[in-house]
């Protein structure tokens, strides 16, 4: 029941992260994703990641992270024969996804108008930094640049450290998720659809209350550090051994917290008598709370507060959280043994979704470059002899 897209074929022309992350979601829901890569070099992500040996094998960690389950076909789209083979694949495809700079597909004579004339039901999704039109359409876009332009860096960190880059490529991943959502919506209608995804706009949409507080209430967005600006006490506190997040956002949660840390006296203090008062005197209140918990173990206190209805949790590293039983129980990680091309066992993440109590999964590991040329192009009538000739001529 997790193969909700089992009858869908997607041609994935994307590179590095935003587009591959989009198709990573779709392949886990059962779509057949054929990754179209340039002969010889493939997706740039094949050469990116922390393991240089894998990079040299064109199976870099950055590629392994979001390409499991896909098929790799190499086509030189600048070669007329490569372009013709791609157009043949388009005839039987449901979706084309690309994240080239605007104009590249037009120069390849593979524009939306060209492709929809070949396939009247095609969904075409273009992911770019700033959209396919508008005054910034031609600007090159990387996640770092988009983060800065979006205002996200300006509100990340605290007054002393902002602006700060978010610690992972949030523009690419949010752009990819936005594209996957739009593709699924378009597939529901089963007719030719052009989808234009802007990474910049995708990030701005997710700022939610921050952007709305400016648009509606005129409140200037400011860096808040580890504090929740909507309530207090709600943020990060230093316990005896490590940092602890506490979110006592409701009045009853605040009262429970104060009593549990033996500071019921704070409930009678006029500076902490209401939510707005506590927000105004946040620093002083945080000092009192940290003084009360300085000899407590963060994990124990988090468990106690959670059991009392006060949301709390220790601040973990990524290795910490991946060792927690909840990750295994939810089926977030996929295991692949003896992966072709690297002869290693690897783990990758799936989607963070469960369908009918089951985590969507794929059977095959990330593919070697061109691993599915014979399978996919064979469907077009290309035999082994012609495959060899096309390969020798740099077409595939």
% of the chain with per-residue pLDDT over 70 = 100
- pLDDT of 110 above 80: yes
Which entry of 172, 241, 271, 276 is annotated as an active-site residue? 172
Distance between CA atoms of residues 303 and 297, nearest Å:
10
**H runs (alpha helix) in 224-372:** 251-260, 275-280, 282-293, 298-307, 318-323, 325-330
Active site residue 241: no
Question: 253: which residues sit within 8 A by CB, 6+ positions away?
Answer: 247, 309, 310, 311
Task: Please tell me the pTM assigned to this model.
Answer: 0.93
Residue-wise pLDDT for 286-315, tens only, equals 999 999 999 999 999 999 999 999 999 999
d(CA 347, CA 64): 9
Instruction: Report d(CA 360, CA 111) in Å as an integer.
Output: 33
Q: Which residues contact 137 (CB under 8 A, 6 or more apart)?
A: 102, 128, 130, 131
- Burial profile 257-295: b = 16 or more Cβ within 10 angstroms, e = fewer: bbebbebeebeebeebeebeebbebbeebbebbeebbee
Domains of the chain and any CATH numbers: 9-207+329-392 (3.40.50.10540), 234-315 (3.30.1540.10)
Is residue 175 exposed (0-12), middle (13-18) or buried (19+ Cβ within 10 Å)? buried
Q: Chain-centre distance of CA 390, in angstroms? A: 36
Q: Is the dihedral of CA 298, 303, 304, 307 positive or negative?
A: positive
Mean pLDDT throughout 229-244?
96
In what helix (H) or strand (E) does residue 177 lie, and over which residues does it extend?
helix 170-187
Q: Rounded to an integer, what distance in angstroms lies between the CA atom of residue 252 and that of residue 254?
A: 5
Q: Please, how many CA atoms are within 13 Å of residue 15, restricted to the half-sphere of its CB?
A: 14
The answer to whether residue 60 scores a pLDDT higher than 90 is yes
Whether the per-residue pLDDT at 112 is higher than 90: the answer is yes
Q: By CB neighbour count within 10 A (0-12 exposed, 13-18 middle, 19+ buried), where does 115 fall? A: buried
pLDDT tens, 121-166?
999 999 999 999 999 999 988 999 999 999 999 999 999 999 999 9
Question: CA-CA distances (angstroms) from residue 200 to 53, 147, 204, 251, 266?
Answer: 34, 8, 6, 37, 44
- DSSP, collapsed to helix, strand or coil, labels residue 313 as strand
> In Å, how far from its chain's centre is CA 210?
21
Q: Dihedral, CA atoms, 177, 178, 180, 182, nearest 10 degrees?
A: 160
23 has pLDDT over 80: yes
C-beta of residue 20 within 8 angstroms of C-beta of residue 98: no
Distances (CA, A) of 300 to 240, 252, 253, 306: 11, 21, 18, 10
């Amino acid at each position: 029941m997790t193969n909700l897209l089992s009858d869908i074929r997607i041609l994935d022309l994307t590179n590095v992260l935003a587009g591959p992350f989009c198709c990573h979601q779709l392949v886990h829901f059962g779509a057949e994703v054929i990754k179209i890569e340039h002969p010889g070099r493939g997706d740039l992500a094949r050469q990116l990641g922390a393991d240089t040996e894998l990079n040299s094998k064109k199976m870099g960690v950055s590629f392994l992270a979001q390409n499991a389950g896909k098929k790799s076909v190499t086509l030189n789209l600048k070669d007329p024969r490569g372009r013709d083979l791609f157009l043949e694949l388009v005839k039987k495809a449901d979706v084309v996804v690309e994240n080239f700079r605007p104009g590249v597909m037009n120069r390849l004579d593979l524009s939306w108008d060209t492709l929809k004339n070949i396939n009247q039901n095609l969904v075409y999704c273009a992911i770019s930094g700033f959209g396919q039109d508008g005054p910034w359409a031609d600007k090159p876009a990387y996640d770092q640049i988009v983060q800065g332009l979006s205002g996200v860096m300006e509100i990340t960190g605290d007054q002393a450290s902002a602006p700060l880059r978010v610690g992972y490529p949030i523009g690419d991943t949010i752009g990819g998720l936005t594209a996957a959502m739009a593709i699924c919506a378009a597939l529901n209608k089963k007719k030719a659809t052009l989808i234009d995804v802007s990474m910049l706009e995708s990030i701005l949409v997710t700022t939610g209350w921050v952007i709305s507080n400016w648009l509606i209430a005129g409140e200037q967005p400011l860096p808040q550090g580890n504090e929740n600006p909507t309530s207090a006490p709600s943020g990060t506190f230093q316990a005896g051994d490590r940092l602890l997040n506490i979110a006592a956002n409701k009045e009853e949660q605040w009262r429970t917290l104060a009593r549990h840390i033996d500071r019921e006296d704070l409930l009678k203090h006029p500076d902490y008598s209401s939510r707005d008062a506590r927000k105004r005197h946040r620093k002083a209140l945080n000092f009192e709370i940290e003084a009360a918990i300085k000899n407590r173990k963060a994990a124990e206190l988090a468990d106690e507060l959670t059991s009392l209805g006060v949301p709390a949790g220790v601040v973990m590293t990524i290795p910490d959280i991946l060792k927690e039983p909840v990750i295994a129980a939810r089926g977030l990680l996929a295991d692949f043994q003896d992966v072709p091309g690297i002869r290693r066992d690897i783990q990758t993440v799936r989607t963070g979704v469960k369908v009918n109590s089951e985590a969507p999964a794929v059977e095959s590991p990330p593919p070697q470059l061109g691993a599915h040329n014979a399978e996919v192009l064979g469907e077009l009538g290309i035999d082994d002899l012609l495959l060899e000739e096309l390969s020798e001529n740099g077409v595939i």
